Structure 1
Amino acid sequence: MPSTRSRATDSFPNGFDPAALEKLPGHLRETIQRRTEVLGPGYMLMYKEPVEFVSGHGAHLVDRDGNDYLDAYNNVPCVGHAHPHVVKAVSCQLAAVNTNTRYAQQPLVDYAERLLATFPDELSKLSLACSGSEANDLAMRVARFHTGGEGIIVTRWAYHGITREVSSFSPSLGKGSPLGPNVRLIDPPDPRLVAPGSTLADHMRHQVRGAIDDLERHGYRLAALVTDSAYSSDGIFTDPVGYMTGVVEEVHAAGGVYIADEVQAGFARLGDSMWGFRRQGVLPDIVTLGKPMGNGVPLSGVVFRPEVSDEFGRNVRYFNTFAGSSIPVAAGAAVLDVLEEEDVQQRVLENGKALRAGLEAITQQSPYVAEVRGTGLYYAVEIVQDRESLEPDRTRAEDLINDMRGRRVLISASGKGANVLKIRPPLAFSESDVTRFLETFAEVAEVRL
């Protein structure tokens, strides 16, 4: 059967190739065939052999045959799949009422106050939405209104969402989703890109200054710099810290705002702070939140400095029927409960250190691993053809991912070359989960690395 891989499939890390459909087991093959007939364009499946799950708990998923998989990839169920406290909170609220923000709701106000208390005092206004894409869309609307500018700066392989607006500054969507003429790209904070004699701080500041100059040359005043605080799609770059101060100074000097995208990096994911931007010692003007916020219930948010957002609020009506309604708010509050009561941040720190140490020990002698990066429970293992050229090796990375899946451990890929193993489990990842992961990874590495 000839390959039916499309441009979209090629740009999707570790995507299933429909050409392999006939090789799949009967029930799975039938389900995928039916899915193809009824679902609209653009849907993708993961792994050479996709998998169907029927239940989950903690950092584990269970397939229709009762097999247990260790989930080291999904950050949406932040505090764990089917966490009992979240399930109870959502179920009770569903049995009571689900109404929207045009009615006075004390639980909504309680939640907003609790969430904002985790931010610096200057970030004191919260708007709610349903997805990270919606959050980034609203953030950019406010940024444009506040600054009067249109220019946007993002990193070279960033992903910020799928609305028409946000996809225009999400280069990782690939050639089929063109960037806006008002968008300029800069390097992620990769120390290997810094010229001899320079520093990462100088390199990043120079990149931003050059992007601003080019925007102005083409008639665009800067609206915003948007960065994912973990540079997730660029290949995960969480360290070193300290380079963002000069970057934000350049943005403000040009009249723009700094938007910290915490959709993937937030909610204690990076371990040493609740929010990724805190590690850099800078104050964003706007922060966007998403996936983990409701532990799987659609809920996202935008946190503003009031001097950036208030004028927009006085002039533009914003209403989102489901954003801030009773059920998502109950889920969000339950997530905060678990983060506090289970001391999740400390667990992330401890288990994250063990995970990193194990990854480094397993890969340190491999000629095919450029480096291990990350912090907390967010790690990258960069797979290359050799350590001298650092040429991406997508094929080897996909083989590693699929070998792990074959041993019932789930990870995926990141980076423009789709060659960076992305390890990003639910924060319920336990000490025993770390052990199982490293034992499985060692088995696969012995063959592939």
Structure 2
Amino acid sequence: MTGSDGTGMDAARMVNGFDTARTGALDPELGDLVRRRDAALGGAYRLFYATPVQFARGEGVYLYDPDGTAYLDAYNNVPSVGHSHPRVTEAVSRQLQTLNTHTRYLTAGLVDYAERLLATHQLGPAHAMFTCTGSEANDLALRIARHHTGGTGVIVTANAYHGVTSAVAEVSPSLGVPLGRHVRAVPAPPDAAAVAAAIADLERHGVRLAAFLADSLLSSDGVLPDPAGFLKPVQDAVRAAGGLYIADEVQSGFGRTGGHLWGYQRHGLEPDIVVMGKPMGNGLPIAGIVVRREVLADFGAAVRYFNTFGGNPVCVAAAAAVLDVLDAEQLPANAAAVGGYLTAELGRVAAASPLLGEVRGAGLYLGADVVDPATGAPSGARAAAVVNGRRDRRVLISATGPLGHTLKIRPPLPFSRANADQLLEALTDTLADLP
């Protein structure tokens, strides 16, 4: 999450993004900061919302602007255990005052964390490897898959997002980057027949399958979590063709789906490689993979792997604290309980509104389709209006899906029923104001 708000509508913009041509209409102080940012960072960077929002601090499930106004964060899964969590902050501060170096020196913290992380997976004997970002982790997973299988072919879903390096951008259709000649995209949700057809097409072009790569919630495809188990036949088809199954848990991992720590567990999968990122360090740059030992064996013997900052002691301290908090505060169970409540209540709102279609969710990751009330067709423009209307009511969400028409609700895991009610009230008020 690895995560993206790119859509198939227009790769050069975000559906709910800020148009810099409107900078002059902003409050002078905010407009000046936007101009300075644009001059310093360039046009590739985007800001959320029709009117950008500036934040000065965060705590729990809230972000605060420079005036101290609170915004309910129902979007950010990076600080998954809450903004500025004191246990994470203390662990990072203590480690930063003690030691921070790379993984070519022996440190107990990295080994301890790797052992804990491996114990949360059920892949059989496995190894952990660390990077800084989910993009790097997916890149590494593909390198290992190609080395192990001798193939280069990769199958992904139609609007997938797996990262921004050259290797993973070409397996991320949502970015609008041309797919590599060795890449095939199948409709979401994928089924075994579509995957088998993609494998056959690769073979017709002389390309051997290396891997099927999927986000376990199909987040960028519109948040498609159900029915649980639908990915198992896909895994079987991939294995039968000699390929590896790579579970991208950057968005669906670390308790996000509730009931399980990992999204692939909802589907009864046994991946060959699991990719992790975003919430791993609650905002610090740590990501990585867990890979079955037999898959890594030859790569590990033949290829030298090193990452200067991946798995450094400070980021590992943050990651260890995240596991502590997930357990101590029972956040996966909270995700299941509050997520179930929020999904049910969103369904009631949708039943009463001609602007909302299907509601889908697993734990605290929800999608709700926005439609044209006259035709029932998906509407990215109306979804953007809903997102911006809620921003004006100080509740932060985003949009996803191939047409940018699916509201993406993905709050920090301490989200409570009271927080859910605040979100629902803002949604109801926003819908009431839209034509």
Where in structure 2 are the equivalents of 1:10-89 lying within 5 Å? 10=13, 12-89=14-91
**Amino acid in the other structure paired with 1:446:** A
Candidates 101, 109, 124, aligned match of 2:111:
109
Measured after TM superposition, the shift of residue 7 of structure 1 is 5.3
Note the alpha carbon deviations across 1:135-182, whole angstroms, 9 max, x for none: 0000000000000001110000000000000001000001xx211111
Matched, 1:129 2:131: yes
Matched, 1:188 2:188: yes
**Amino acid in the other structure paired with 2:173:** P
SS at match of 2:56: strand
Matched, 1:206 2:193: yes
SS at match of 1:355: helix
Matched, 1:372 2:359: yes
Q: What's 1:193 paired with?
A: none
SS at match of 1:101: coil
Q: Distance in 2 between matches of 1:80 and 1:284?
A: 29
Measured after TM superposition, the shift of residue 245 of structure 1 is 2.2
Q: Distance in 1 between matches of 2:56 and 2:93?
A: 19
Where in structure 2 are the equivalents of 1:399-414 lying within 5 Å? 399-414=385-400
Q: Distance in 1 between matches of 2:232 and 2:418?
A: 39
Q: Could you tell me whether the CA contact under 8 Å between 1:13 and 1:412 is conserved in 2?
A: no
Where in structure 2 are the equivalents of 1:419-438 lying within 5 Å? 419-438=405-424
- What is the TM-score of this pair, normalised by structure 2? 0.96
Note the alpha carbon deviations across 1:97-141, whole angstroms, 9 max, x for none: 101110111111110111111100515210000000000000000
Q: What's 1:173 paired with?
A: 175
Matched, 1:440 2:426: yes
Query: What are the ranges of 5 or more consecutive residues in structure 2 without an aligned counterpart?
Result: 1-8
SS at match of 2:197: helix
Which deviates more from structure 2 when the two are superposed, residues 431-440 or residues 271-280?
A: 431-440
Matched, 1:261 2:248: yes
Note the alpha carbon deviations across 1:13-45, whole angstroms, 9 max, x for none: 311111111111111100110111111451110
Q: What's 1:199 paired with?
A: none
Note the alpha carbon deviations across 1:49-91, whole angstroms, 9 max, x for none: 0011010111100001110000000000010000000000000
Q: Distance in 2 between matches of 1:403 and 1:152?
A: 39
Aligned length: 427
Candidates 263, 285, 294, aligned match of 1:298:
285
Q: Distance in 1 between matches of 2:234 and 2:341?
A: 33
Q: What's 2:323 paired with?
A: 336
Percent sequence identity is 51
Measured after TM superposition, the shift of residue 8 of structure 1 is 4.2
Measured after TM superposition, the shift of residue 296 of structure 1 is 0.2
Q: Could you tell me whether the CA contact under 8 Å between 1:411 and 1:423 is conserved in 2?
A: yes
Alpha-carbon RMSD: 1.4
Q: Distance in 2 between matches of 1:273 and 1:346?
A: 9
Q: Could you tell me whether the CA contact under 8 Å between 2:15 and 2:381 is conserved in 1?
A: no
- What is the TM-score of this pair, normalised by structure 1? 0.93
Which deviates more from structure 2 when the two are superposed, residues 364-373 or residues 415-424?
A: 364-373
Q: Could you tell me whether the CA contact under 8 Å between 2:138 and 2:168 is conserved in 1?
A: yes
Q: What's 1:144 paired with?
A: 146
Which deviates more from structure 2 when the two are superposed, residues 365-374 or residues 102-111?
A: 365-374
Query: What are the ranges of 5 or more consecutive residues in structure 1 without an aligned counterpart?
Result: 1-5, 190-202
Q: What's 1:395 paired with?
A: 381
Q: Distance in 2 between matches of 1:119 and 1:313?
A: 20
**Amino acid in the other structure paired with 1:172:** S
Q: What's 2:3 paired with?
A: none
Q: Could you tell me whether the CA contact under 8 Å between 1:8 and 1:42 is conserved in 2?
A: no
Measured after TM superposition, the shift of residue 9 of structure 1 is 3.7
Q: Distance in 1 between matches of 2:148 and 2:315?
A: 29
Note the alpha carbon deviations across 1:309-367, whole angstroms, 9 max, x for none: 11100000000000011101000000001001111111111111111121111111323
Q: Could you tell me whether the CA contact under 8 Å between 2:355 and 2:431 is conserved in 1?
A: no
Q: Distance in 2 between matches of 1:7 and 1:349?
A: 34
Note the alpha carbon deviations across 1:402-431, whole angstroms, 9 max, x for none: 010001000000001001000000112122
Measured after TM superposition, the shift of residue 368 of structure 1 is 2.6
Measured after TM superposition, the shift of residue 277 of structure 1 is 0.5
